[in-house]
Amino acid sequence: MTPGHIEFPIIGAKWFIGLTALSHIVVASLAIGFAFIVTAAQIVGYLTRDRSCDLVAKQVQLLHVCVYNIGTIVAVGFIFGLSGLFPQFWSQLFVHQFWTLMLEELLFFMLATTLSLHYFFWDRLWGHKKMHIFLGALLTPFFLLQFYLINGIGSFMLTPGFAEGQASLSQGILGWDKQAFYNPSFLMLTLHRAFVNFSYGGFMVAGLCGWQLFKKHPENVAGAYEKAGRLSFTLGFMAFLTLPVIGYFYAHVIKYEANEAFVNLMWGRGDIIAGGIDWWWVKHLAVAAIFGMTMNYFWRQRKEPQALLSVPGIMVASISLFYLMFYLAMGMIMTYAFFWWMVFTAIGGALLARHRRHYHGGSPRALFTTVAIFSLLTVVLGGYAREAARPRFVDRISHYDSIYVPHERQPYLMLPIGPDEIPAPPAEPVKTPEPVRLIRQKCISYHTLERVKNYRAADWPLIVRQMRAYGLRLSTLEETMIVDYLESGEPY
């Protein structure tokens, strides 16, 4: 009996899930950033007795209400899609992490009510400003807790860690699997997404303020937008700076816990390439462009020490040097072409920012909106790259079949079919030969594979022994396998 599945017209099941998930992430991430920025602006407004900050905070909160509505409905579509298009996978994931998802639902409720109360009672609570700010400040921890829970499930799908659902398998269905939740990449994903959200939110608020500065406003209102834009831009940039560091450790975990995904990312394989384009590269190009533009902004700010949130030039130079080293390190892992592309894009970004500021009479409005657009692009492409790096489900009823085999299932999970009628698990993907895996894993820890490929010497035993002398950890068996394979001239 062949298991049937529903076909989604035109775009197919995979792209429907991808589109709804990414749309949700785009607005959900924005909501987290907005919540943080609103509270920051309200606190600044309260401490400085500056009503313009409060005005901007209210405007942003209205946008927040709008995106929250859309984000929630898109999430409903996402869940509908998963339930119908990938029923086996989704029901098992839901059972596996039932209590996690129930807590998630409770947080949705808390967020929706708190957000509504905060925005719609803004004027009524004018006389209780501290309480109102506190109410708004509750949104950020609620959001963080909510995406903390989702990250446990999302990271499990990339690095299952202990084993897929082993706790549930050995102890019955618990609705909660601690080892699966706190899987190896959970911490890194959570940190990375937290700072991405703050950064994205900050840049988007700055972009919206920049957009408002294109319109005609009274001087005090325009001043408020400019001030809020600069504040948000700086907050967004501070969060942005943490990302290479966290990203490095995140990649490190993926390298050991989801090696195939790591290889796909670094060398542009699998679904990372779509339409002939390496989308992970494109994401990094957008990041480099943002970096160049922000550096130009802060470099110019250093000349105006009286301006809001200016930083000394030495700090701008130090950050630039740090990024240069980061791209150099990435180039060593991937290819040096990556390094050069990033450097040139960053320079291009800086020049673009310079031009746009001159063109707009020194106003940062165009810069803010451009960075916001690039920021949106990085969030979308980053999410896509993370999900596409994983080998795709070959069969719609795949992946999770190794967990709940029929005779081990709880009765209410049983399907109305006999064990012999259960469709066979999908064929195992072709495994990378062990010597090839060894070459890829061991050599790129020290240099690019290009060096290996460009090497013309035929004395591989000597070269590999030299590498061991340089510090490469390799057993004798591994050494033999690598040497034999390299001598055979087969591709790797």
Partner 1 sequence: MAQFGFFLGEVIFLFFFYYLTWDKLRDRKRLHIFLGCVAAMFTLSVQFVWDALGSYMLTPSAALPMINQPVAWSTAAFFNPGFPFLFLHRFFGNLSYVMLLAGGIFAVCALRTKEAEQKEYWSFASRVTFPLGFLAFFAMPLIGWGYASVIQQHAPVAFHAIMGGHVSLHFTVKMVLAGTMVLLGSAWLFAGRKHLWLRLAVTAGLILTLLVFLAHPPLRALTESPTVWFAGLAAIFTALLLSLWLFAPRLKERHEFWQWTKLAIGLLAFSAFLIGGFVRERSRSPYTVYGEIVKPEVEEREADRFLFYGKCLGCHAPGELKKPRAADWRERVAIERQRPELDLTDEQATRVVRYLEDDYR
Q: Which is nearer to partner 1, 416 or 491 (CB)?
A: 416
Q: Which is nearer to partner 1, 48 or 410 (CB)?
A: 410
Q: Which is nearer to partner 1, 4 or 471 (CB)?
A: 4
Let me know: does 203 contact 236? Beta carbons within 8 Å.
yes
Q: Which is nearer to partner 1, 109 or 412 (CB)?
A: 412
- Output the smallest distance, CB 76 to partner 1, in A: 6
User: Can you say whether the dihedral through the CA atoms of 248, 15, 155, 28 is positive or negative?
Assistant: positive
User: In 3-state terms, what secondary structure has residue 67?
Assistant: helix
Let me know: does 365 contact 4? Beta carbons within 8 Å.
no
- Output the smallest distance, CB 65 to partner 1, in A: 8
- Output the smallest distance, CB 331 to partner 1, in A: 43
- Output the smallest distance, CB 6 to partner 1, in A: 5
Q: Which is nearer to partner 1, 408 or 450 (CB)?
A: 408
- Output the smallest distance, CB 88 to partner 1, in A: 9
User: In 3-state terms, what secondary structure has residue 278?
Assistant: strand
Q: Which is nearer to partner 1, 23 or 100 (CB)?
A: 23
Euclidean distance between CA atoms 320 and 65, whole angstroms: 37
Euclidean distance between CA atoms 392 and 403, whole angstroms: 18
Residue type, 210: G
- Output the smallest distance, CB 384 to partner 1, in A: 21
Euclidean distance between CA atoms 95 and 92, whole angstroms: 5
Euclidean distance between CA atoms 303 and 296, whole angstroms: 12
- Output the smallest distance, CB 408 to partner 1, in A: 17
Let me know: does 156 contact 180? Beta carbons within 8 Å.
yes
φ, ψ for residue 34 (rounded to 5)? -60, -45
Q: Which is nearer to partner 1, 83 or 318 (CB)?
A: 83
Q: For the chain, how far is it from start to end, CA to CA, in angstroms?
A: 39
Euclidean distance between CA atoms 290 and 345, whole angstroms: 9
Q: Which is nearer to partner 1, 329 or 415 (CB)?
A: 415
- Output the smallest distance, CB 455 to partner 1, in A: 54
Q: Which is nearer to partner 1, 4 or 276 (CB)?
A: 4
| Helix segments in 159-183, DSSP class H | 166-171, 178-181
Furthest C-alpha separation in the chain: 82
Cβ neighbours of residue 29 under 8 Å, at least 6 residues apart?
193, 196, 197, 200, 201, 379
- Output the smallest distance, CB 84 to partner 1, in A: 7
Q: Find, among 296, 287, 301, the residue nearest to 355 by Cα.
A: 296
Residues that bind partner 1 (CB under 8 A): 1-6, 66, 69-70, 73-74, 76-77, 80-81, 84, 87, 411-412, 415-417
- Output the smallest distance, CB 7 to partner 1, in A: 8
Q: 398-417 burial, b for 16+ CB within 10 Å, e for fewer?
A: bbbbebbeeeebeeeeeeee
Q: Which is nearer to partner 1, 84 or 426 (CB)?
A: 84
